[in-house]
Structure formats: C-alpha cells, structure tokens
Amino acid sequence: MRLKVLVDLPRHSRLDPLLDYLAPEAWPAGTLVRVPLGRREVCGIVWGPGDEAASPDGEGAAVALREIAQVLDALPPLGEAWRRLAAFAAGYYQRSLGEVALGALPPDLRELDATQLARRLRRSDKLDRDAAKAAASPSADPAVAAPLPEPSAEQREVLAQLAAMPPGPVLLFGATGSGKTEVYLREAARVLEAGGQVLVLVPEINLTPQLEARFAARFPGRRLVSLHSGLTPAQRLQGWLAAHLGRADLVLGTRMAIFAPLPRLGLIVIDEEHDPSYKQQEGARYSARDLAVWRGRSEGVPVLLGSATPSLESWHNALPAAEGGAGRYRRLDMPARIGGGALPRVRTVDLARIAAQFGKRAVYSQPLAPPLVDAMRERLERGEQSLVLLNRRGYAPVLHCTSCGWKSDCAHCSAWRVFHRSDRTLRCHHCGFSERVPFACPSCGDPDLQPMGRGTERLEEQIAELLPGARIGRIDADTTRHKGSLESQLAQVHDGEIDVLVGTQMVAKGHDFRRMTLVAAVQADAALFSSDFRAPERLFALLMQAGGRAGRDAELAGRSEIWLQTWHAAHPLYAALRRHDYPAFAAAQLLERESAAMPPYAFQALLRAEARSQQAACAFLDAVSAATLDWPEAAEVLIFPPVPAPIQRVADVERAQMLLEASSRQALHRLLARWQPVLAEAAAGTGEARILRWALDVDPLSI
DNA sequence: AGCACGCCGACT
DNA sequence: GTCGGCGTGCTC
C-alpha cells in the first residue's frame, strides 16, 4: 500500500514535500520513518494514506515508488495537535510543510535509525527512573521544600480572576518586580496537579537558568527539562523525548520549544512576551509567541503572556473592543512592586540646557553630563552600583582620516568597520571582515587617524577618567565571547567587585542586581527618530526593563534612579516614562499607528531578495510585483516599490526588499498563497541576474 | 537542501 | 594526462 511521507524538501523546490512511498502496512500518521530520497536516506514523517491513483504526478510519466526503508515505531507517533501546529505554521509563514515539521525535530533524532533510537530510548528510560527515584528521596520531599510565599493581595486577585476565566490568551501586565513569576508558578501548580504539562517560553538562553532554578525549587517532585540551542545535541534529544513521551511535567525553553510535542499540554507561559527574540529571524520566520496563542486555542489550553511593556500587538489584542482594541485577549494588571518597593525615579538630562550651562564641550566631548557624573559619584561613595547602557560595542563605530576624510569602510559591505581598540582591529560587524588598524590613512598616508563616535570600550575608558578610583566593568558581546564568561562577569557584579557597569542591551535583560541604584541610558534619542516605526516601542521596553534592574532591593529602592540624556526632554515618550505610564505611551503609539495604517491595524509581509547586483534584486521584485497586477487576490493588498535593504550590501551580496500591506490578514494570505509559485519561478533565473536567496517574512519585526 | 553529473584550469 | 572548481538538475 501507499503512504504519504513528509520529508524536508526546502521551500522553493518545485517538488511537493509530501511524497508517496510503498509500505507493507498502514502506519499511523505521525510515525517517524526513514525513506530513500535520491541517493540518500532521510528522516520522514508519515502524514497519511497515499494516492492509490496511478501516478503521484497526476499525469504523464509515472514515478517508480520506493519502499519505506525503516519505521521508527518504538517512538509514539507525533500527535494530531502537533501536526496541526506544524501545518498551520508552514501555511502562515509560507514555508514548506516538510521544512517546518522536520525542522522542529531535534537534529539528532533525524539522523537515528531504529537501532540507535532504541538505545536512546533505553537511556531515556533510565533517566526517567533516576528522576523518579530522586523525586521520591527524602531530600526532595515537598514538605521540606521552602514554604510557599504568601501571595500578595494583588496576586491573589489575579489568580482568582484566572481561575474564573474561560481558557484563552491572557495578557499579564505587571511591572518588573510585581511578582509575575509567582503567578506563573501558581498557575503551573494548578495544571500540574490536574496532570497537565506546562510549557514556559523565555526570550533568551541566558534567562533559562534563573527561571529553571525557581521552577525546580517550587516543584521538587516534578520532572523539568529545558529545550534551547545551547544544549548539546544529545541533551536536546533527551529533553525532547521526555516531553514527547509525557515524562517531563515542565518544559522550559526558547522559541524553538513552541514546537515541543506535549501530549498532556495544560498551560503555555510566554515570559516577556514583547521580546523580539521570539521572532525567528532566518529560515522559517515564525513568531513563537503568536504560534503559542494559536496552539493554545487549537489545544484548548490557556496561554499566559507576561510583560511590563507588552508589544503593541498584544496590548491592542487585550484592549476591549469598546476602547478601540481587538478584544481577543483578557488583560490582568499587576501595577505594584512586591514588598512595596518604589519604582525608580526617572530623571532626564536636558542636553540643550547642559550645553547652555557648561558649554558645548561638556556635551560633545564627554559621554556623561555633569549632573549624571555627580549622581554616579554619590553611588560610588555609598558603595552602590551604577549601570550605563550604550547599544554599540567596540571603541568607536568608525575611524577617519583628519586630512583627506577617509573612513574605515568595509570592502564587502555598505557599512563602516568598527574600531576595536583592545586588539587594534577594524572589524565589520556584518561580514566579520577584520584587519589590523593601519598605521596611516590607506588613502593619503596621513598617520592622524581619529575615532568618530563612541562605543562601549571608549565609554568605559571615559568613565574611568570621570570617576577616578571607580572599579569599572564592561559586558557586551565582545567580553562574553567565551562560554561561561557572562556568568563569571555577572558574578563579579553581584559580589560587589564592580562599581560601574558599562554594557549593551544584553545586560538590561533579566539580571537582578541588588545594589544597582542607578541606570543611565547615554544615547536614547536615536530611537525617537528612527525610520523603524517600532523603535520607540523597543526603547520604552528597554528603558523600563533596564530600570527594573535598579531598586530590586526594597531598602535601596527609594533612591533608585533611571537617567536619560536627551536633546528632546519634552518628548512624550520620556514624559510617559517619567510617570512609568506604559498605558499612556501605548495609547499614543496606537493612535499614531492607526492613523498611519500600520500594525497592529495593518498586516505586513516583507519580500527580501539577494543577488550579485542591486539591479538584479530589484528586477526580481519588480517582476513578481507586476505579476500580481490583474489578480483579484491583490486588490486589497498594497505592494510598495522595491527598495535597497537597510544595509544594502553584506559580504558582497546586494540586498533589496519590498513591503506588502493589507488591512486584513486573510487578504494578505490569499495573495501570498497564489504568489509563492510565481516567486519560485521568477527566482529560477541564471547568470549574473540570478537571485541568490529570497525569503518572505510574514509579520516582519524590522523593515 | 544534498548530491549527483558535467565541462574547463593548475598540478603529480 | 588527472584533480577539482561550482553551474545545473533531480529527488516519490
């Protein structure tokens, strides 16, 4: 008999990834198999009965069907709900079903034959028995575990409302330190009690250990596994197996974990739901948060989205229709900090006024204005810590020649090479091209090359001059390149070995610094006038999140401050920030978005193309745009003209993009569905005009 | 995507 | 005379 088997045939292959194979018996859908494909043998998933009709191609030359090579029937089939999720994700994000479904499996699993699988399953059995034994041992007795913290009145109220609610997405809007995690834990306890599995998603691997520790401490008898790309392939497979076999009660992971098969799924928690890391930025560009909401509805399971600064999409979804929102989610608010800790005071330094008072030099040559330096000096004297955020690593973003105007451009990209003083290199952050800093200008020979602008390395140096005696540390992608170095540097901060920490936004997320009473953002303004319409939203989230680092310690909370240096002190974003008023900020942003017909009031897709020449990339985009001219599917979709990508050339490849916008998701998807084969066809050219890569990004986060 | 086949430049 | 560059084509 014939079975339809799904294999990982990528996106624009003109072949359907659902292939017919011969099998001696009807294995159920979801069964993992190994099948011959061309000259190799690949992993496949049985998707259903095959076409018993003559030829799989429909007409003409019959294809000789081949036999399934092996059936991995030691593993339970992937369930119906899981297959629905994969199919939805593939359809929504316009990728091949095979790519999405097979790509959601641990890479190791796809390589295993039946014998190897049996061995892994035996190891999984043993792990399971060990875990059960550990759970039963006296040391893990729940009675001995730390007593449950008494929930605050606010938490009790939220929990009561959650208990009374029908299943559906809930936006938990709570300030940093308001105890959202306690709500997750209580909800998880309820679901575990009822025999369910809980899936918890966090934005970054860095944040898993902390949350893992809290869940492990609260549920000592329960099996908890994590799923993220930082695990070894074997660990990832074991975690996945534990989830799929229903042995893991709690699954904690990054966006990839949204595809974990969970036969007893009872709750999905998305922590920091606004975080852009939930959107995959290559391959199948899915949003784990949006898929979580879909999965929750599909499986009849509650979804808890937590944030102090929700995405405007979620905020809009949680706003009742009567208030102009979509009314799709329920919203629960937790405004107060636990332990009555005050929210940090927000202080804006008006650079225009500083320039008038201290002279232009004080503003342009010094990274920190005098009042901010004074405030940091006070912290230093009291033995407290300060954090200075600057979202740009390296010493200076560009080096230039004072006599001929040469700048350190990259030979392969339309970008500057960044001056890294520590190893005296000029490095392109886009293609990796790196060279020692030249002794003299490569263009005119003048040895006087000067750094322009400021990165974290230089900021660190300049702060050392402004605050003599202060112990200064720096955390960015350069100082945390080696495994474990982020942890050890964070430990230094915790142990009080650092007075002032300089860092990029990676330090703003999730880390809890007890003695940090000042957080300063040095170059906040850039986001106010960015061409990216989501920049203000990200800035607001970053500053609130960074502010959350300050004043975690209730006794110090009273003098915790967030400092902003700005030329636009009166900007409404800063005004809302001073009041910690996210709802006002969101209302203003939504009004702007609505009047400009932008998300969440419009639905977007971005078609990106890469070619040897900008002209070839644009020609492709123009051609596929023109193809839709007389389509009824295109009537409600606005297709903008092609434009060069924000970084036009990377590693000698030219990039262009084209935006699509529609007022309804359905209209956009009707066009995309018909468009897909046209794109594949148009990209198939040869020679210099050939398209190297193209990708469709549905709901793009940055344009 | 893999993995073949296929047709032109620098090596044992 | 071969080894190997990656352009083009196929996979139930």
Percentage of the residues of chain A whose pLDDT score is greater than 90: 70
Answer yes or no: is A467 within a domain.
Answer: yes
Work out the average pLDDT over A174-187. 90
Tell me the nt nearest to A57, Cα to C1': C12
What φ, ψ does residue A5 adopt, rounded to 5°?
-120, 130
Q: In terms of domains, do A130 and A276 share one?
A: yes
Q: How far apart are CA A170 and CA A166, in angstroms?
A: 10
The pLDDT assigned to A98 comes to: 93
Report the distance separating Cα A174 and Cα A427, nearest Å.
41
Asked if residue A438 has a cis previous peptide bond (ω within 30° of 0), the answer is no
Residues A303 and A205 in one domain: yes
Side chain identity at residue A256, one-letter code: M
When divided into structural domains, chain A yields a total of 5
What does the pLDDT look like over A605-653, one tens digit per residue? Answer: 999 998 888 988 999 999 999 999 999 999 999 999 999 999 999 888 8
- Spatial separation of the C-alpha atoms in residues A301 and A222, rounded to whole Å: 20
What predicted TM-score, i.e. pTM, was given to this entire model?
A: 0.94
Q: For the segment A53-63, what is each residue's pLDDT rounded down to a tens digit?
A: 655 554 444 67
Is residue A442 located within the same domain as residue A519? no
Quote the domain boundaries for residue A311. Answer: 115-339
Q: pLDDT per residue over A190-199, tens digit each?
A: 999 999 999 9
Cβ–Cβ under 8 Å, residues A675 and A631: no
pLDDT digits (tens, 9 = 90+) for A579-601: 999 999 999 999 999 999 999 99
Q: How far is CA A16 from CA A39, A283, A324, in A?
A: 18, 18, 43
Q: Which of A387, A367, A552, A375 is nearest to A475 (CA)?
A: A387
- Let me know if residue A109 belongs to a domain: no
Band the pLDDT of A16: cuts 50, 70, 90. Answer: confident
Query: In sequence order, what E strands does A261-311 have?
Result: 265-270, 303-307
A410 labeled binding residue: yes
User: Nearest-CA residue to the C1' of B3?
Assistant: A39
- Mean pLDDT computed over A286-299: 98
Please tell me the predicted confidence (pLDDT) of residue A554: 66
Based on the domain organization, do A284 and A294 belong to the same domain? yes
In the prediction, which pLDDT does A152 show?
87
CB-contacted nucleotides of strand C (7 Å): 7-8, 10-12
Same domain for A154 and A32: no
Q: What tens digit of pLDDT does each residue of A20-53 get?
A: 999 999 999 999 999 999 888 999 999 999 877 6
- The reply to whether A349 falls in a domain is yes
A385 vs A211: CA distance, rounded Å: 24
Task: Dump pLDDT digits (tens) for A508-554.
Answer: 876 778 889 999 998 889 888 888 999 999 999 998 888 877 766 76
Q: Are residues A88 and A193 in the same domain?
A: no
CA–C1' gap, A17 and B3, in angstroms: 17
Q: Which nucleotide is nearest to A66 (CA to C1')?
A: C12
**Same domain, yes or no, for A161 and A256?**
yes
Residue A703 included in any domain: no
* Range from A118-132, A327-341, A435-449 carrying the lowest mean pLDDT: A327-341
Block residue for tokens 């703003």: A508
Instruction: Please tell me the predicted confidence (pLDDT) of residue A59.
Output: 45
Residues 39-68 of A with CB under 7 A from strand C: 56-57, 63-66
Instruction: Mark out the alpha helices in A195-232 (DSSP H runs).
Output: 208-218
CA distance A401 to A406: 5
From the C1' of C8, which residue's alpha carbon is nearest?
A: A686
Q: Do A345 and A318 reside in the same domain of the chain?
A: no
Quick check: is A199 in a domain? Answer: yes
Query: What does the pLDDT average to over A145-167?
Result: 86
Average pLDDT (A491-511) is 88
E strand or H helix at A692, and its extent? strand A691-698
A43 is in an annotated binding site: no
Q: What's the CA gap between A366 and A643, in Å, rounded?
A: 38
Residue A110 lies in a domain: no
Q: Does residue A687 sit in the same domain as residue A559?
A: no
CB atoms within 10 A of CB A139: 8
Which residue among A408, A428, A454 closes a domain? Answer: A454
CATH number at residue A676: 3.30.70.260
A184 and A304: one domain?
A: yes
Mean pLDDT of A482-510: 88
The 10 Å Cβ neighbour count of residue A623 is: 16
**Could you check: is the Cβ of residue A95 within 7 Å of any atom of nucleic acid strand B?**
no
Nucleotides of B under 7 A from a protein CB: 1-4
Domain end call among A419, A437, A454: A454
Instruction: Please check whether residue A35 lies inside any domain of the structure.
Output: yes
Counting every residue written for chain A, the total comes to: 703
CATH code of A62's domain:
3.40.1440.60
Give A248-261 pLDDT, tens digit per residue: 999 999 999 999 99
* Residue A618 annotated in ligand binding: no
Instruction: For residues A513 and A588, state if they share a domain.
Output: yes
Indicate if the pLDDT at residue A691 is higher than 90.
no
Of A178-192, A321-335, A674-688, give the lowest mean pLDDT range.
A674-688
Same-domain check for residues A572 and A607: no
Please state whether strand B lies within 7 Å of residue A14 at its CB atom. Answer: no
CA distance linking residue A334 with residue A357, whole number of Å: 42
Residue found by looking up tokens 């790509």 in the block: A103
User: Would the Cβ of A20 be found within 7 angstroms of any atom in strand C?
Assistant: yes
Interatomic distance A610 CA / C2 C1' (Å): 37
The residue among A549, A567, A593 that closes a domain is A593
